[in-house]
Amino acid sequence: MLLLVLLTVSIFTFDILELFNFEVSFAKKMAASIKEKHDNVEISLESLKKGKSLISKKNFNEEDILFEERPLVSSQFLWNEFYKYEACEYCLRSLETAENQSRRLTEDPTLTLPLPECDETDQSKYVNCPQCQITYCCQECQKRAWEEYHQTLCMGASRQDENHPLYKLQEMWRNIHFPPESCSIMLIAKMIALVKQSKNKSDILERFSGFVKTTINEDEALVHKMMGEKFQEPLEMLRQQMTDTLYEDTVQHWFTPEGFRSLFALVGRNGQGIGSSSISTWVKNCEKLDLAEEKKEEVDLFIDKLYEELEKVSGSFLDCEGSGLYSLQSTCNHSCLPNAEITFPYNNNIMAVVAKEQIATGQEICISYLSECDLSRSRHSRQKILKENYLFTCECPKCLSEADDPDMTSEEEEEMDDED
Ligand SMILES: [Zn+2]
Ligand SMILES: [Zn+2]
Ligand SMILES: [Zn+2]
Residue 203 Cα to ligand 3 middle (Å) = 35
Residue 402 Cα to ligand 3 middle (Å) = 9
pLDDT of 120 over the 70 cut: yes
pTM above 0.95, yes or no: no
Q: Which residues pair with 364 in a beta bridge?
A: 55
Q: Which of 256, 182, 272 has the alpha carbon at shortest distance from 11?
A: 256
- Minimum-distance ligand to the CA of 393? 3
Residue 326 Cα to ligand 2 middle (Å) = 24
Mean pLDDT computed over 261-266? 90
Residue % of the chain over a pLDDT of 70: 87
Residue 121 Cα to ligand 1 middle (Å) = 11
Residue 149 Cα to ligand 1 middle (Å) = 14
Give residue 362's pLDDT.
94
Task: Write out pLDDT tens, residues 293-347.
Answer: 999 999 999 999 999 999 999 998 999 999 999 999 999 999 999 999 999 999 9
Return the minimum-mean-pLDDT range out of 142-156, 296-310, 394-408.
394-408
- Minimum-distance ligand to the CA of 380? 3
**Could you give the domains of the chain?**
3-66+329-335+356-419 (2.170.270), 73-273 (no CATH)
Residue 327 Cα to ligand 1 middle (Å) = 20
Give residue 14's pLDDT.
36
pLDDT of 138 over the 90 cut: yes
Burial classification of residue 111, based on how many CB atoms lie within 10 Å of its CB (0-12 exposed, 13-18 middle, 19 or more buried): middle
Q: Which of 409, 395, 415 has the alpha carbon at shortest distance from 334?
A: 395
Residue 137 Cα to ligand 1 middle (Å) = 4
Are 386 and 362 in contact by the 8 Å Cβ rule? The answer is: no
Residue 397 Cα to ligand 3 middle (Å) = 7
Task: Write out pLDDT tens, residues 218-263.
Answer: 888 888 887 777 788 889 999 999 999 999 999 999 999 999 999 9
pLDDT of 15 over the 60 cut: no
Q: CA neighbours within 13 Å on the CB side: how many for 14? A: 14
Q: Which of 177, 98, 168, 86 has the alpha carbon at shortest distance from 133?
A: 86
Residue 395 Cα to ligand 3 middle (Å) = 5
Q: What's at 69, amino acid-wise?
A: E
Q: Which of 278, 284, 270 has the alpha carbon at shortest distance from 320?
A: 278
CB atoms within 10 A of CB 153: 22
Give residue 283's pLDDT.
97
Per-residue pLDDT band at 30 (split at 50, 70, 90)? low
DSSP string of 142-206, one letter each residue: HHHHIIIIIHHH--GGGTT-TTSHHHHHHHHHHHH-PSSPS--HHHHHHHHHHHHH-SSHHHHHH
Sign of the C-alpha dihedral computed for residues 384, 387, 390 and 392 taken in this order:
positive
Per-residue pLDDT band at 50 (split at 50, 70, 90)? low
Phi, psi of 136 (to 5 degrees): -120, 155
Residue 153 Cα to ligand 1 middle (Å) = 17
Per-residue pLDDT band at 406 (split at 50, 70, 90)? confident
CA distances, 369 to each of 269, 291, 318, 338, 347 (Å): 10, 37, 21, 9, 21
Q: Which residues pair with 43 in a beta bridge?
A: 54
Comparing 214 with 301, the larger pLDDT belongs to 301
**Packing angle, helices 232-246 and 216-227, rounded to 10:** 100
Phi, psi of 249 (to 5 degrees): -55, -45
Residue 27 Cα to ligand 2 middle (Å) = 35
Residue 386 Cα to ligand 3 middle (Å) = 9
Residue 315 falls in which region: left (phi positive, over 0), alpha (psi -120 to 50) or beta: left
CB atoms within 10 A of CB 331: 26
Give residue 2's pLDDT.
37
Give the per-residue SS3 of 100-154: HHHHHHHCCCCCCCCCHHHCCCCHHHCEECCCCCCEECCHHHHHHHHHHHHHHHC
Around ion ligand 2, which residues have CB less than 5 A away?
A: 129, 131-132, 154
- Minimum-distance ligand to the CA of 149? 2
- Minimum-distance ligand to the CA of 402? 3
Per-residue pLDDT band at 146 (split at 50, 70, 90)? very high
Are 227 and 239 in contact by the 8 Å Cβ rule? The answer is: no
Are 43 and 52 in contact by the 8 Å Cβ rule? The answer is: yes
Per-residue pLDDT band at 216 (split at 50, 70, 90)? confident
Return the minimum-mean-pLDDT range out of 57-71, 157-171, 346-360.
157-171
Per-residue pLDDT band at 409 (split at 50, 70, 90)? low
pLDDT of 128 over the 50 cut: yes
Give residue 77's pLDDT.
95
